[in-house]
Amino acid sequence: MTTHIPKAELHCHIEGAASTELALRQAEKYGVDISGLIDGNRFQWDDFTSFLAAYDQTAALFRTEEDYALLSQTYLESIAEEGAIYSEIFTSPDHARGAGLSPDAYLNGLGEGIRRARESHGIEGRIIITCVRHYGGEQAVDVARYAAGKPHELVTGFGMGGEERMGSHADFAAAFDIARDAGLGITTHAGELVGPESVLDAIDHVRPTRIGHGVRAIEDPALVDRLAEEGIVLECCPGSNVSLSVFKDFDSHPFRDLLDAGVKVTLNSDDPPFFATTLGREYAMAQSAFGMSDDELRQTTRTALEAAFVDEDTRRALIAKL
Ligand code: ADE
Ligand code: ZN
């Protein structure tokens, strides 16, 4: 167990953080049949495409400000009980709109859940607004404009998830420029389902300080050196990668090799119940499978806090907890 190690998470999609129990309760509330979505206590999917469909189906079960307050509150409280002191949640106004909720109400609900979890468990949180790659560059510009307008005080970053095998980051450069110019931190998914060329494409076109996953950079030693030299932080999600068969098991995961090569790596849960994981399990697996000592795990948390999209006073206060 690693409950005694303070943890920080930079990469968790909030709709993907709904437990099966909460999803079932929401389905009952709205009279939706989700027997095809949940089997026993697990979400049903069998590859990345069906995972994204299951994710969308789950997102559609959250329809009001209070639904989202409950979602962020319960998620943050659950990881606080595993030792988490900080979490950045990835949010998607496109998904909220799809469920009939305005982006403002969506963020207000999520912000209220963060406030409640801070009050009950002392965990700090921030919000990253993401666009969806498979919805294309124009829609991403709309999302970026919305994020750039500082729609909520806890919004501090902009990112992109979705189908990495579609398009190029060049299609999203305009969106990321809008977000960066507004002072938002920049992260994007790359090097998860596609190899090192996808990480290079992201670096070249959107200049992120952090990359979601990025782990397939390991296939290109020159790129690994570049990540280390430029201090680009990888939001690694080993449990997600193993679950989606990006790597066949934890022993084959390059987390340790990247760390040893000087790359700044962090531990994250991505979409925890979908991948039968939690932030606590990611830290525990890093200890048992990657041989991380308590000190190394604490350093991983420090790396995350140093890369967090948060004001300097809050960063200092969080680092002091280590
Ligand atoms: N959206 C939710 N989870 C994701 C993942 N692992 N990769 C890309 N987009 C996502
Ligand atoms: Zn992700």
The residues annotated as belonging to the active site are 192
Instruction: Looking at the CA of residue 16, tell me the nearest atom of ligand 1.
Output: 2
The CATH number of the domain holding residue 123 is: 3.20.20.140
Mutate to test the pocket of ligand 1, among 55, 56, 165 (most ligand atoms within 8 A of CB): 55
CA 320 to ligand 1 center in whole angstroms: 32
Residues 6+ apart with CB under 8 A from 287: 2, 293, 294, 297
Give the pLDDT score at 118: 98
* 2 belongs to a structural domain: no
pLDDT in tens, 188-206: 999 999 999 999 999 999 9
- Rounded distance from Cα 304 to ligand 1 centre (Å): 19
Cβ partners under 8 Å of residue 19, min gap 6:
74, 78, 273
41 pLDDT band, cuts 50/70/90, is: confident
Q: How far is CA 239 from CA 31, 84, 163, 269, in A?
A: 32, 17, 19, 7
Query: What ligand has the least distance to the C-alpha of 270?
Result: 2
Atom of ligand 1 at shortest distance to CA of 161?
Answer: 9
Distance CA 128, CA 309 (A): 9
- Furthest C-alpha separation in the chain: 53
CA angle 216, 217, 221 (to 5 degrees): 130
Residue 13 DSSP SS3 = strand
Range of the domain at 49: 7-320
pLDDT on residue 243: 98
Q: What pTM, to 2 d.p., does this model score?
A: 0.98
Atom of ligand 1 nearest to the CA of 133: 9
Count structural domains, the chain: 1
Tens of pLDDT along 112-145? Answer: 999 999 999 999 999 999 999 999 999 999 999 9
Tell me, yes or no, whether 1 lies in a domain: no
| pLDDT tens readout for residues 274-283 | 999 999 999 9
Ligand nearest to the CA of 52: 1
User: What is the C-alpha separation between 160 and 158, in angstroms, rounded?
Assistant: 7
CB of 240 shorter than 6 A to ligand 1: yes
Query: Is the minimum distance from the CB of 133 to ligand 1 under 6 angstroms?
Result: no
Residue 90 CB–ligand 1 contact under 6 Å: no
| pLDDT at residue 287 tops 80 | yes
> Does the beta carbon of 187 lie inside 6 Å of ligand 1?
no
Please report whether residue 267 resides in a domain.
yes
Distance CA 245, CA 311 (A): 36
